[in-house]
Structure 1
Amino acid sequence: MMMYKFLLSLGIMILTSFQLLAQKEPVKVGVVGLTHTHVHWILGREDRGDIQVVGIVEPNRDLAERYSDQHGFPMSIVFDSMDEMIDRTHPEAVTAFGTIYEHLEVVEKCAPLGIHVMVEKPLAVSLEHAKKMQALAQAHHIHLLTNYETTWYPSNHKAYELLKSGAVGDLRKVIIRDGHKGPKKIGVNDEFLDWLTDPVQNGGGAIMDFGCYGANLMTWLQDGQKPNTVTAITQQLQPENNPKVDDEAIIILTYDDSNAIIEALWNWPIGRKDMDIYGLTGAIYADNRNQLRVRMTEGYDGYQEEFHQLEERPAPLNDPFALLAAVIHNEVVLSAYEPSSLQNNMIVMEILEAARKSAETGKTITLDK
């Protein structure tokens, strides 16, 4: 009997060890496209053992060779097409770093094969594309995530936590500012600039490139509640640099008891990604990635201010590819409307679609609930 118990315990230990090892196997990831310069995020990432880049799709050999020299990946893993890369490397997931227009094609190719997909923001160039992507993801039971830089900001998560705890009272207004001097002024490479300033491949200019950040954060703060109305204006203040698209967008969202102003600009003198949250009794200022202030009202214009210097979030909540691996391994389950989720980003696309329509027509757009 003792020998039986010993062998049973040993068997359980061995099985558990194998299960732990299996869980720690890196997710095999294919990179589709190199023209989006956010691709340096994954190519230059330290090896954490959670993912393994097994293949890259990029028909532009010159671009692939430049990045191969920069990051040290072998050209033997670079393929001209998704079909070739998938057939040769069998990825479990792909990350899309091409044009936003190409996101639909990536999902059309990968979803029927059971390959999970993470795209760079925004989810799609249009609500029509987004709905097709959603249908494919749901039909084939794949994860479809959208990556935003601001998802990984500790300041945004602290702001969310403070708001939901009632620290500044009921929400009344949010102002979200994102952008920089403009793609050409900050010196993005030609391969990126060519499509980032194209109304078809990017779906628009600053309104898409940076308007999506505000729509994403506001949908998260509102726990998935859609705005009642969307009003937007766009301008082109750098026609010499952005002849085909807007470079200035202001989007106003109204809710039952609050509103939001999204300022998405390629005309800021200084690059920024920050957010102000105003409640009935105070305000939260997420000034940058790691710094946050809380002001509590005193009298007419007085206040007490508390400053927070925030540490990075723990893994896998501090990195898009760590999160992707954790979701695939069922170690993390995304809540319905958090920033990376498909549910959140479908609402983002409704907001962006309405914003473009509002800017084109000069009218406020009411969203269907």
Structure 2
Amino acid sequence: MKTYRIAAIGFAHSHMRANLEAFASCGERVEFVAAADVPPRIPSLSVEPDTRRCELDRAVEQYGFRKYEDYRQLLEENEIDIALVCCENAYHPVVMETILRRGIHVVVEKPLAATMQGAMRIARAARESGAKVFTNWPVAWSSAVRQAKELCDAGEIGRLFKFTFRNSDSLGPLSYGQQITELEKGREWWHQADVGGGALLDYCCYGACMAPWFLNSEPVSAYGLKANFDSPYASAEDYAEITVRFPRGVAILEGSWTTVNTGIPNGPILYGTEGTMVVNQSGAIEIYCTRHAEAPDRVIEPMSLPDGRDNLGREVLHHLDTGEELFQLLELKTNLSAISILDAGSRSAESGKMELANDAVWTVGTDPFL
């Protein structure tokens, strides 16, 4: 079977580490070739874990990548089949367009882009080159989320009309044991609005991807809120909410870098005409169909993920090998729909008004690029 030659481009997002691990699990099916960062707008000061310099050096040491200073030189000098991209959200379009137009498949960490305009630029490059775009979502590898979707589609709680999701407790992307000052945090892209930092794109994106999938429909409009409650060193928000209108439903999406502990499941929590379904903290699925009951009527343990397709690397290679349908959350069309929500929510946060998601820029089903 084909061996895929892998490049790693952009180390702004710390999920590059997990994505590399997923492809490494494919063993001899992959060859790690070369790695390069995409230069930040403001140089990073920290070398703590999850910062770009630390993660680039870790990848070079662990996987034997040849290190490049310029990703364009990397592409010129190497034969690459798949590029893993984890640069700043706002840089996704220019970096991915450069890669795609060489016929190289791209696996990009969520979200697909920072704006709808940027996402459509990526879609155009993919269509014209014939190369594939895969967007990774850590939640895509949750068996409980997948089973909850199957149960909803089977009518377990009647017709689904409300979807809610928030991230688990978080004090931001560099709050997991790193020794880092506020000055150093402010130099990291996560906290810079103009390069796609902030809690809306980082955490509201999960719900923006899952909500149309669960509700089996496309978003109509969104009302968004952004706020900076506890990050005086940042230009980006540390808290965001988006309320999304669907033709026959609603989604409430929350992203917070200011929450110590919620004490309640982050979900998804799914409301139907005949009951409520909760994906709890342990990954079990609770189903409530009896009014006023304090305990669930049923608790379902999640199924296993498909054999040989249970992580990002194996799913991507399976699709490229066989041409079989890709898991839906990774598909380009699904992620364009997600960006339409994020874009409308972000515009709404600026305008103070509800903004259309199905506007002239993007309408699922009529898009000429798909």
- TM-score tier (shorter): 0.7 to 0.9
The residue identity in structure 1 corresponding to 2:211 is: M
**Is contact 1:251–1:355 with CA below 8 Å preserved after alignment?**
yes
1:33 aligns with 2:22: no
Q: CA 1:78/1:366 → structure 2, altered by over 3 Å: closer, same or farther?
A: same
Partners of 2:9 and 2:87 within 8 A in 1: yes
The yes-or-no answer on 1:347 pairing with 2:324 is no
Change (3 A) 1:42 1:193: farther
Q: Secondary structure, in 3 states, of the residue corresponding to 2:347? A: helix
CA contact (8 A) 1:57 1:80 kept: yes
Structure 2 match to 1:326: 318
* Counterpart pick for 1:254 among 217, 237, 245: 245
Q: Which amino acid aligns with 2:78?
A: T
Corresponding position of 1:135: 124
**Corresponding pairs, count:** 338
Match in the other structure for 1:181: 171
Q: Which whole-Å deviations, capped at 9, do the CAs of 1:25-78 have from their partners, x for residues lacking one?
A: 332111102232111113444532343322111378954674158x52336x11
Larger Rg: 1
Q: Give me the whole-angstrom Cα distance separating, in 1, the residues matched to 2:38 and 2:211.
A: 37
Corresponding residue to 2:144 among 155, 158, 161: 155
- Compare 159-168 and 344-353 and name the one that shifted more: 344-353
- 2:318 and 2:164 map into 1 onto residues whose CA distance is 32
Q: Check whether the contact 1:231–1:365 (CA below 8 A) recurs between aligned residues.
A: yes
Q: Deviation string for 1:289-326 (max 9, x for gaps)?
A: 732212222x4557652222325413443211221212
- Unaligned runs of at least 5 residues, structure 1: 1-21
Structure 2 segments unaligned to the other structure (5+ residues): 40-51, 364-370
Structure 1 partner of 2:224: 232
Q: How does 1:39-188 map to 2 (within 5 A)?
A: 39-45=16-22, 46-49=24-27, 50-58=29-37, 63=54, 66-68=57-59, 72-74=62-64, 77-179=66-168, 180-187=170-177
Shift of residue 267, structure 1, vs aligned partner: 1.6
Indicate conservation of the 8 Å contact 1:275/1:286, yes or no: yes
Q: Given the alignment of the two structures, is residue 218 of structure 1 paired with residue 211 of structure 2, yes or no?
A: yes
C-alpha contact 1:123 1:130 (8 A) present in aligned 2: yes
CA distance in 2, matches of 1:195, 1:98: 10
Q: 1:137 is paired with a residue of what secondary structure?
A: helix
1-structure distance, mates of 2:162, 2:284? 20
Letter in 2 for 1:342: L
CA separation of 1:59 and 1:212: change in aligned 2, threshold 3 A = closer
2:161 and 2:215 map into 1 onto residues whose CA distance is 11
For structure 1, which segment, 116-125 or 266-275, has the greater mean C-alpha deviation from structure 2 after superposition? 266-275
Moved more, 55-64 or 132-141: 55-64
Q: Give the alignment partner of residue 347 of structure 2, picking from 357, 365, 368.
A: 357
Match in the other structure for 1:9: none
Is the CA contact 1:177–1:274 (under 8 Å) kept in the aligned structure 2? yes
Task: Name the CA shift for 1:145/1:191 in 2 (closer, same or farther; >3 Å).
Answer: farther
Measured at CA, do residues 348 and 293 of structure 1 come closer, stay the same or move farther in structure 2, by a change above 3 Å?
same
TM-score, scaled to structure 2: 0.83
C-alpha contact 1:176 1:275 (8 A) present in aligned 2: yes
| Whole-Å separation in 2 of the counterparts to 1:234 and 1:178 | 15
